[in-house]
Structure 1
C-alpha cells in the first residue's frame, strides 16, 4: 500500500488510526459502541483512540498520547526532552509491526525478524568487553552509546531520509557535521522525549511517525531475509509502496546497555 493512500485511510480526527478489523465485533463503552482495535474504553464512559497500536489516555475531557505528553491535574503537558541513553522500538498498525526493537548493523537501523544487531569489541588498552550488553543504544546528543575512540553518531541521511549511523571517526570528535555531506548532522531535526516519542521535523511540520521499508539482502528474493530499514517520511519516501508506517518510542536505559563499537 502506498504511504499516501495509507495515511488517507488511517486519518481520523487528525489522528492516524487503525481501520476496523474485518468481522471485528463491537463492544460497549457506556452507551457508545466501538471497535477494540480503534479505541480503548476507560471507566465505561470515555473512549480514546489507539494510534499505531499505542493507546491514548483520557485527561481533562480529551485524550493524549503518553509517549508525548503527561497529564497533571487534568492538564496535558509536554514530556521533557530525553537526557538519558535510550533504545528504540517501532510500533505500526499491523500486529507483526508492533513493539519491534530497532537494531543497528552495517551503519543502518532496521527492524524485522532478520534485522541484525552487530557489535564488536577489542579487548585491549584495559577495555572490559564483558561490561557491555551490546544492545542498540543511542544518546540524545546524536552519539551512539559506543566507547570506540572517535565515537559514532546516528543521523537522518539528508539525501534519502534513511536513519543511519557512522563508523568511528578518525579522532576523538564531539561532532561530525563536517564529515557528512548535507546540513543535517547528528541529532539535528530529531526530537526525542524522555521515555517517549522519537520524532523528526520536516520543513513544514514535525512528524511523529516513521517508515519501515523492506530490504532484500543481496542474493535473496522478496520475502526471504526480510529486514525493514527505518526512513523519515520525506515527500519522496511517501511515494514508496514497500513500507509500513509507525511510531518510534525511546526507552531510557543505562549507557552500558550499548556496545564498544557498532560495525
Structure 2
C-alpha cells in the first residue's frame, strides 16, 4: 500500500531546510526526515509542526493540542476550566521549551525573562509557589483584592497583565478576549492564525551575546513585519491549584 502523506509533502525542498545532516528513513514506500514527520504503522506520515507531532485520524492528520480523535472523527478539545501554565513550542530552538513569566505587566520568555511577584506582610505568603499561572476566564492566579487579568493589548498586540487594584480597569474590559484555551492544549489566538510571536526585547545599550528575553505578541499584520520575531505555539498545562500562582504579579 502506498504511504499516505498529509498536510505537507515530502519533497526536494526538505533537502534545503536545514536537515541535510539527517538521514532519510522509510515509511512504507516513502522516504522522510524524522525531524519533520512521524511514521505510523509503516503506512502514514504526519508532519511535526512547531516541534509538535501530528497524529493520524480517519485518513488525515491532526494536532492533539487542539483536537481529539474518536472512531475516526475529529472534535475540538474541551475548553480549559482550571489554572494552567504556558509553555512555548517552536522549530526555533532559542524560543522553544520556555515557560512564560510575568514581570512589569508583560509575559516573556528566555534566559533574561524575570518572574516578578510580591506578598504583603500579614498575608499567608507561604501558601504560594510564585509561578506564573493563568485562569481561563482572563484572570491571573493572583489573590490581590480586585484581581489581576491577562489580555492582548489593542495597541501593539502584546500579551500583558494588569497591575491590579484601580489600575486594572482597562485590562478587565479586554481580559481573555480573542483567545481560546483548550484543555492541556493550545492557547490559541483567534482568527486565521493560531500561533504567536516571540519578539526580542531590545534593552538600551544591549550588545550581542547578552542575556535576552522575548515578549509574546499576537501575529497582527504590523507584528509580522517586525524583525527578531519567531513564530511559536503556546500550550497550556494544567496545575492542581491556583496557589501555584502568586499573591500579586509585579
TM-score of the pair, normalised by structure 1: 0.85
SS in 2 for 1:179: helix
Tell me whether 92-101 or 217-226 shows the greater mean CA deviation.
217-226
Q: 1:81 aligns with which of 71, 79, 82?
A: 79
Is 1:194 aligned to residue 197 of structure 2? no
Is 1:169 aligned to residue 165 of structure 2? yes
User: CA, structure 1 residues 85+244, in 2 after alignment: closer, same or farther (shift >3 Å)?
Assistant: same
Write out aligned runs for 1:1-263 (5 A): 12=8, 19-124=17-122, 127-170=123-166, 179-180=170-171, 185-201=174-190, 205-253=191-239, 254-263=241-250
SS in 1 for 2:236: strand
Which runs of 5 or more structure 1 residues have no equivalent in the other structure? 1-10
SS in 2 for 1:170: helix
Q: Indicate the RMSD between aligned Cα atoms, in angstroms.
A: 2.1
The superposition leaves residues 28-85 of structure 1 with CA deviations (integer Å, 9 ceiling, x where unpaired) of 1111100111101112221110110000111111111010001111111100111111
Kept in 1, the 8 Å contact 2:196–2:219? The answer is: yes
Tell me whether 93-102 or 216-225 shows the greater mean CA deviation.
216-225
Which runs of 5 or more structure 2 residues have no equivalent in the other structure? 1-6
The superposition leaves residues 137-189 of structure 1 with CA deviations (integer Å, 9 ceiling, x where unpaired) of 01111110000112111110000000000101239xxxx5x535xx9700011
The residue that corresponds to 2:4 in the other structure is none
State the distance in 2 between where 1:199 and 1:169 align. Answer: 28
1:20 Cα deviation (Å)?
Answer: 4.6
State the distance in 2 between where 1:78 and 1:217 align. Answer: 41
Kept in 1, the 8 Å contact 2:150–2:176? The answer is: yes
